[in-house]
Structure 1
Amino acid sequence: MPGTVDQAIHQLWRHSALEADWLSRLRLQGQGPILPSSFALDAAAQACLASSGLAAAALHKQRGGEAQTVSVDARHAVAEFRSEHYLRVDGVQPADPWDKIAGIYRCGDGRWLRIHTNFPHHCQGVLRLLQCEYDKAAVAAALQNWRAFDFEDAAAARGLVATALRGFEEWDAHPQARAIAAQPVFSLSRIGDGLPRGLPAADRPLDGVRALDLTRIIAGPLGARVLAAHGADVLHITSPELPTIPTLDMDMGRGKRNAQLDLKRESGRAALRALLADAHVFIQGYRPGGLAELGFSPDDAARLRPGIVYVSLSAYGNQGPWAGRRGFDSLLQTASGFNADEAAAAGADEPRAFPAQALDHIAGYLVALGAMAALCRQQREGGSWHVEVSLAQAGHWLRGLGRVEGALELPVPTLEDVHPWLEESDSGFGRMLAVRHAAQLSLTPARWALPAMPLDSHQPSWTV
């Protein structure tokens, strides 16, 4: 496993284009296997956290700070990889956000299909498509009238989210898989001119860096949470028209302020343009092309704010026939072969999901790594920069780390198991127990200066 972790870190660091000498300042403790999986989830967790921590240290040094070491404990990294599972508020675990009809079903052709209905409009759309009641047995019966691939395509055509189960061989033959395989684990490109922004020396790596977070659920909010852990002023912008999952808002909201803007209205778009004019980082996870329709494409942002670091997060990347499809971690696991091959390794008859939302978490740390690498480039070279991350690219990278023997029967770490890495603090929801950040910088310890607060708790302004 140590060799796998080193391999994973070197891959990510190479794509960041930061100085290779920083790798000598990394201190890794512990090793897997820890999670019950035949995939290298433990190595991926430790590598992603280590790489994002090193990027923060590199940016701090570039701003005039002292060089420092970065330490990551494997078990702490795994705990953070599952952070939403360990959240407690006033001693109670928040309600399970999983919808009662979401999950895996057999279709009439005998193939498995996974549907995602945790958002009300997705749930209602699936029920309309199936013409059945809001009941798991009714959904199972209705899907007997469908072939899995036909339902997958019909759902996508309606903006819904469902994927048929594939094994690796079947996925590798798919045009979307070939498009993903041709791309790096994340991309970093210059999209415009502009002078270096000249970030002054600061006590913490991202002090004075203003980041707009226009994302939901796990991956995007996690990436912004990492930036906040290193001192960034993160303003999370949501819309009153978009659904969310409160449990995830609690865990991923630490260190941020929260405001709402209705981007369907010109007043909301004008307010966002004003915020963008003073931002350093813009992170968005809208459906591909969604923000371009509102005037906030990467090129729009570079024109409105020369020197911006613009981060795009998607399900399937920006190339291939599925580039415009919506998706979630669980659906990517099903479509791209992980559930089938995990089940085969376990000798199970039914598809087997990961014991963590691993693709979401990998992508989240890649968002943070890419954003900080781009900030380093912007400081040295000037220009506006575009970072592109997708869940599918994260999955392709994870698969490349190889398999793990003898781990499938391990227990999932309990709350008691991860207790050494928990912290307790007040929040806008009550007394919160949650996982601390696992990438420990020797001179600028990661911490969240602001408590998690309900959405729309703050004004859409950089003035605190």
Structure 2
Amino acid sequence: MWVMTDPSFSSAFLSSAWSALGGDPALLGRVTTVEREGALPARLPVRELARACVGACALAAAELGAVRTGSAEVPAVRVDDGAVATAFLSERHLLVDGRAPVSFAPLSRFWRTADGWVRTHANYPHHRERLLAALGVPDDADRVASALAGRSALEVEETVYAAGGLAVALRTPEEWAAHEQSAAVAARPLVERERLDETHTRVLPPVTGGPLLPAAGVRVVDLTRVLAGPVATRTLALLGAEVLRVDPPDRPEQADLHADTGFGKRSATLDLAADRGALEELLASADVVVTGYRPGALDRFGLSPEALAERRPGLVVAQLSAWGAHGPWGGRQGFDSLVQAATGIAALEGSPERPGALPAQALDHGTGYLLAAAVLRALTDRTRRGGTRAVRLSLARTAAWLKDPDTATAPAGATVEGSPFDRPDPWLARTGSRIGRLRHARSPVAFAGGPADWSRPPVPWGSDPARWA
């Protein structure tokens, strides 16, 4: 079992995350970590990764806050394992009028095949329909199990993907390492950062008063779906950004997941092909565009980083994908559970004979906080040096980082011991909303003078107009 307890190992994660974001290593000393045994237990160092992602995000927020207040000192950051563990399970802690959400649909799970296991994802109706069509069976779990039991895992993977569905074969770490996509992912940095032009500068105005909101006045077009992208934009909303989530009108989001990740945001629907004028009006005054669709899927709407840079110089474009934009799987859709299965994580957390899972959808949540951090650092760099910025992250690259972390031992702040983590209650809140009475996880992003909670609860999906408030 791989259990890491050395504090320098935790520091290595934060150091490597902050380095990947282009941050000044001297600022790592502003971070204090409250360690709590029992938080996010796993064979892989999930707690250390989660702590680093949140810590890097909080530090990026504090840095931008110092820039916008004109302070010479970056506010102190505090990362509490209890808050992090609770937030990484936010979708499970949510209650709507006392009702617990359903995380996975019946056909989203591991299935035995003739030679191993396959993981399917069928939470959305269109993915369920395509899975069933590829297998040639009705919507019945027993029939699905029977169809899969007679086929090889790799055959199922290719057949279902060819039909537009989602399924991946369970692989060991060694089998994934031999795959072309693994090599393509490993060749990319954890956070890809690009400056698309050299001349355009957009300086954010100073912020005053309290709480300190580093992203105040920043307009974010949120073109993401469950879960990592919405976690990132939920975090930007916490920090003061005006976030408008935009979804296609014919693809409703799962109501509970939308509620969990909708804090601080407005929600609209927009047909990007038919309502190009409305899209252009949004982009005309946007500061950030965040996309979470498979690579290239939105390019036909003029939403590639290069096309956006031409129309809106000085923009920050943030892109998230499951498998990255390169390699044979670069254009494929994917979700956290599928990436865990393909990259060997499920085999490590269980075994090739009986796959397991991380204690949370840590690839989603971790990548979400890193994506928010990348946006915040891009805003800071744009303020200092100008330029249109693009950042890119993928769940598969975060998975590679989890399995083979940077072993740098640069110091990364102080560590204090807290009481063991045995319940999430101290980090849960309750609030009313148009959706119902909500119990939800507080944000783990904390720095001196920063916000303690979101300024507004989530709204029903698609209930706002597709324009800035």
- TM-score normalized by the length of structure 1: 0.93
Q: Among 434, 439, 447, which residue is 1:433 paired with? A: 439
Indicate the residue corresponding to 1:407 in structure 2: none
Indicate the residue corresponding to 2:150 in structure 1: 145
State the alpha-carbon separation in 2 of the partners of residues 194 and 290 from structure 1.
29
Q: Among 313, 317, 323, which residue is 2:324 paired with? A: 317
The DSSP-based 3-state class of the residue aligned with 1:330 is helix
1:375 counterpart letter in structure 2: L
Indicate the residue corresponding to 1:258 in structure 2: 267
1:364 counterpart letter in structure 2: G
Please state if 1:58 is matched with 2:51.
Answer: no
Moved more, 146-155 or 277-286: 146-155
Equivalences, count: 446
What displacement does 1:35 show? 2.4
- Percent sequence identity over aligned pairs: 39
What displacement does 1:77 show? 0.7
Q: Among 26, 34, 39, which residue is 1:29 paired with? A: 34
Indicate the residue corresponding to 2:111 in structure 1: 105
Q: Among 131, 134, 137, which residue is 1:132 paired with? A: 137
The DSSP-based 3-state class of the residue aligned with 1:440 is coil
Q: Among 242, 261, 284, which residue is 2:251 paired with? A: 242
State the alpha-carbon separation in 2 of the partners of residues 176 and 58 from structure 1.
35
CA RMSD between the two structures? 1.7
Assess if the C-alpha contact under 8 Å between 1:130 and 1:139 holds in 2: yes
Indicate the residue corresponding to 2:416 in structure 1: none
The DSSP-based 3-state class of the residue aligned with 2:193 is strand
For residues 346-361 of structure 1, what are the structure 2 equivalents within 5 Å?
349-361=353-365
State the alpha-carbon separation in 2 of the partners of residues 299 and 329 from structure 1.
28
State the alpha-carbon separation in 1 of the partners of residues 450 and 357 from structure 2.
37
State the alpha-carbon separation in 2 of the partners of residues 183 and 31 from structure 1.
33
Indicate the residue corresponding to 1:409 in structure 2: none
**Unpaired runs of 5+ in structure 2?**
408-419
Moved more, 442-451 or 218-227: 442-451
1:329 counterpart letter in structure 2: D
The DSSP-based 3-state class of the residue aligned with 1:176 is helix
State the alpha-carbon separation in 2 of the partners of residues 139 and 192 from structure 1.
51
Q: Which aligned segments of 4 or more residues in structure 1 are displaced greater than 6 angstroms?
A: none
The DSSP-based 3-state class of the residue aligned with 2:350 is helix
Please state if 1:229 is matched with 2:238.
Answer: yes
What displacement does 1:446 show? 4.2
State the alpha-carbon separation in 2 of the partners of residues 213 and 186 from structure 1.
19
State the alpha-carbon separation in 1 of the partners of residues 342 and 375 from structure 2.
28
Assess if the C-alpha contact under 8 Å between 1:193 and 1:306 holds in 2: no
Please state if 1:47 is matched with 2:52.
Answer: yes
For residues 416-427 of structure 1, what are the structure 2 equivalents within 5 Å?
417-427=423-433
1:198 counterpart letter in structure 2: V
1:100 counterpart letter in structure 2: P
- TM-score normalized by the length of structure 2: 0.92
Change beyond 3 A, Cα 1:45–1:173 = same
For residues 345-424 of structure 1, what are the structure 2 equivalents within 5 Å?
349-401=353-405, 417-424=423-430
Assess if the C-alpha contact under 8 Å between 2:238 and 2:454 holds in 1: yes
State the alpha-carbon separation in 1 of the partners of residues 314 and 134 from structure 2.
45
State the alpha-carbon separation in 2 of the partners of residues 391 and 128 from structure 1.
27
Please state if 1:283 is matched with 2:290.
Answer: yes
Assess if the C-alpha contact under 8 Å between 2:222 and 2:246 holds in 1: yes
Deviations 1:145-203 (A, max 9, x none): 32211111122222211000000011001110011111111111111344221101113
What displacement does 1:33 show? 4.5
State the alpha-carbon separation in 2 of the partners of residues 399 and 351 from structure 1.
16
What displacement does 1:129 show? 1.1
